[in-house]
Structure 1
Amino acid sequence: MWLLHIPPMGNQFQSVEGDVKVHMDVPGLFNLYMVVKPPPPRDYIASRSSPKIQIHVPEKYLVRDLALTSVPSGHSTSEQRVEDDQTTTTVEEILPFFEEPYNMTNVTTQLGQNVYLHCRVNDLRDKTVSWVKRKGESLHLITAGHMTYSNEARYSLDYQPPNDWRLLIRYANERDDGLYECQVSSYPPLVFYVYLSVVVPRVEIVDNRGVLIHDKFYKQGSTIELICVISRVPQPSGYVQWKHGIRTLNYDTTRGGISVKSEMKPEGAHSKLYIANANKHDSGNYTCSLDEAAMTTVFVHVLNGEHADAMQYGGCDTRNAMTYKLVSLIALLTLFVIAR
């Protein structure tokens, strides 16, 4: 009489070929144990191309007449009894356990950051740790042991000795948000749940009244003042960057009269851009960003003298942006006709 151990092969049916055939519906990525007689062939072949995986199990996965007479204190054990007409064998197995006191945790990261999902397992022995992501009722295999099976190249196992089977997700995005399971192939199976939340930063450029803007109009010779408000950043790092077109303004000394004042806050940042003595060359796109993870842009118009009086000086509501652009175009055309 043999106790047959089938290692985890996925959330599918499994079968054993040979003198004994067994079919089982596997609910998760867990080891199976069953009694077979006589022993199966030694060669091992796993076909992943069919919904039914045919497995020929090697002799190393067969356990016979195994009896542990003592178990260290503080460890759990499981018993499996194998009986036939002649013999009775009792198997006691030391079970792995998670280091965390609870079997679920929440992890929050911001868009574009690398994030680790930790799974610390003690007394793993010959068991296998797998990471899966749950989507509704289905499970999607990411890693099993040290191997990665996900088609997403940003996912990988980054094992940290002595016991942390952590999952690394690079450049996290909104699709990574959701429930992950760290599964241990013991019997009964162990599952540690990690819920990942990916926060998308909010970046807005407002006027001195706090009103959101997408276009801003100034008279020539006035001071351009733009305020960038960044929120929903759980772990702010780096600095706020201002650009005019592709030119970075934070440390620009070529033009003169440019000043950037930024303040980092617990969940974001607040930054002001000042450009003194505005001229027509200061017109164009101005971009505010934090670590390139999130950004927003406003278009600044610098108009000459009397034609600027036709505009609502200082800023515009988003709904009227097209109207202001049209008036600006008419003013420029008028200048062109006068010049001729």
Structure 2
Amino acid sequence: MEGPSERHIQQGSVLAITCVVRHPPREAPDHILWFHGTTNIDYDSTRGGVSIQTEKKSRMTVSKLMLSAVDSTDTGEYSCSPTDLQPAVVTVHVQDGQNQQPVKVGPGLSGASFTASVSSNVILVVLLAFVRHHMFA
């Protein structure tokens, strides 16, 4: 794994996570599922403010999860789980403006990649990005 596996994000921000699965031609995963802990996240989620976009290409499948206006209930592990492959996991900590932990500075604060080998031909990369008007001002 490259970059920190834990992220801190301010309450009210937009959380964006991108999962990229590289695969041989015509061997794309059937589905990419997103989870917050053990709870499946999809457009029907009771949380609301959920957007998932998945694009299949000949050698790559890209799925993007966006959660608007995060709050403390959004803290936890997020995983991208392609069909028949091991998931990649990122831990997110949502902070209110009054109890902020120090924010780790370094590569990937606006986009970090996490890589896990799932077979000799497939690499799973998760990019984590935080978007906000005045991010960590």
TM exceeding 0.5: yes
Larger helix percent: 1
Q: Does 1:244 align with 2:20?
A: no
The answer for the alignment partner of 1:64 in structure 2 is none
Letter of the structure 1 residue corresponding to residue 15 of structure 2: I
Q: Does 1:265 align with 2:46?
A: no
Q: Does 1:228 align with 2:22?
A: no
- Within 1, Cα distance between the matches of 2:41 and 2:98? 29
Secondary structure of the equivalent of 2:44? coil
The 8 Å contact of residues 28 and 60 in structure 2, kept in 1 or not, is answered as yes
Q: Does 1:216 align with 2:7?
A: yes
Aligned residues: 109
Question: What is the deviation of 1:304?
Answer: 1.2
Secondary structure of the equivalent of 1:308? coil
- Within 2, Cα distance between the matches of 1:312 and 1:218? 11
Q: Does 1:283 align with 2:57?
A: no
CA offsets per residue over residues 41-100 of structure 1, 9 Å max, x none? xxxxxxxxxxxxxxxxxxxxxxxxxxxxxxxxxxxxxxxxxxxxxxxxxxxxxxxxxxxx
Letter of the structure 2 residue corresponding to residue 232 of structure 1: H
The answer for the alignment partner of 1:126 in structure 2 is none
Q: Does 1:315 align with 2:106?
A: no
Letter of the structure 1 residue corresponding to residue 16 of structure 2: E
The 8 Å contact of residues 29 and 84 in structure 2, kept in 1 or not, is answered as no
Letter of the structure 2 residue corresponding to residue 231 of structure 1: R
The 8 Å contact of residues 221 and 278 in structure 1, kept in 2 or not, is answered as yes
- Within 1, Cα distance between the matches of 2:32 and 2:12? 26
The answer for the alignment partner of 1:93 in structure 2 is none
The answer for the alignment partner of 1:327 in structure 2 is none
- Within 2, Cα distance between the matches of 1:252 and 1:228? 20
The 8 Å contact of residues 219 and 303 in structure 1, kept in 2 or not, is answered as yes
The 8 Å contact of residues 236 and 268 in structure 1, kept in 2 or not, is answered as yes
Letter of the structure 2 residue corresponding to residue 292 of structure 1: D
RMSD value over aligned CA atoms?
2.7
Question: What is the deviation of 1:217?
Answer: 1.4
CA offsets per residue over residues 103-162 of structure 1, 9 Å max, x none? xxxxxxxxxxxxxxxxxxxxxxxxxxxxxxxxxxxxxxxxxxxxxxxxxxxxxxxxxxxx
Letter of the structure 1 residue corresponding to residue 72 of structure 2: K
- Within 2, Cα distance between the matches of 1:239 and 1:251? 15
The answer for the alignment partner of 2:86 in structure 1 is 294
Secondary structure of the equivalent of 1:281? helix
- Within 2, Cα distance between the matches of 1:243 and 1:233? 25
Letter of the structure 1 residue corresponding to residue 31 of structure 2: Y
- Within 2, Cα distance between the matches of 1:247 and 1:284? 11
Question: What is the deviation of 1:213?
Answer: 4.8
Structure 2 residue ranges without an equivalent (≥5): 114-137
The answer for the alignment partner of 1:61 in structure 2 is none
Change (3 A) 1:296 1:218: same
- Within 1, Cα distance between the matches of 2:86 and 2:95? 30
Change (3 A) 1:212 1:269: farther
Secondary structure of the equivalent of 2:99? helix
> Which residues in structure 2 correspond to 1:110-259 (within 5 Å)?
213-234=4-25, 235-259=27-51
Change (3 A) 1:269 1:212: farther
